[in-house]
Amino acid sequence: MLRALYDRVLRLAAHRHAERWLAAVSFAESSVFPIPPDAMLLPMCLARPERAWRYAAICTIASVIGGLVGYGIGYFLFEALAQPILTAYGHAQALDTFRAWFDRWGAAVILIKGLTPIPYKIVTIAAGAAAFDPWIFLVASIVTRGLRFFLLAALLQRYGSPVRAFVEKRLTLLTTLVALGIVAGFAALKLL
């Protein structure tokens, strides 16, 4: 079922309203949808490299707005909606883990998780359920989602099709390295 859904999302990248679909997928993926917008962003950037930055901006804006919806689901509708969503994705106990992480590392959790292919919806819902500071959540979401999508767009714009296979196979490694760099930067700032 997921493969069929993924293939459908991939086909939307060629649709005449692809930008609208990209925004819709980016928005929905941040709170409930299982397929990441990368499935559309990759072929769209390859087909129209001159629009890569535009596509990354669409993903970022829609993803952050969707993240706020996910935050609201966690904050206002945890029992009715968030818990079943977390359970459906196999993360029923995620809230306790995220609460501990938010208490210990704060915004760094959002920065790291938002960059990696770990489902961002889990972070958004858990942040709301843990009543994490909404302003810090918003800023961290803008930074992390922007970095993720603009980095991907830049790689595709610069290197084109050859980087596609690399990105598809090693996106986790690539974004994890960027996330580690951010954490190292925060650690260095704390030491100063």
pLDDT digits 0-9 by tens, 123-135:
888 889 888 899 9
Do 53 and 150 touch, CB atoms closer than 8 A?
yes
Predicted TM-score (pTM) of this structure = 0.76
Reported as a single tens digit per residue, the pLDDT across 97-119 is: 777 777 777 777 777 766 665 67
The residues near 153 (Cβ < 8 Å, ≥ 6 apart) are: 41, 45, 52, 53, 55, 56
Tokens coding 102: 């938010």
Nearest to 108 by CA among 140, 154, 71, 148: 140
C-alpha span between 106 and 98 (Å, rounded):
10
Instruction: Give the position of tokens 């960059």.
Output: 115
* Positions of the chain with pLDDT under 50: 189, 192
What domain count does the chain have?
1
CA–CA distance, 187 with 78 (Å, rounded to integer): 33
Closest by Cα among 45, 183, 189, 168 to 114: 183
Domain around 159 = 2-191
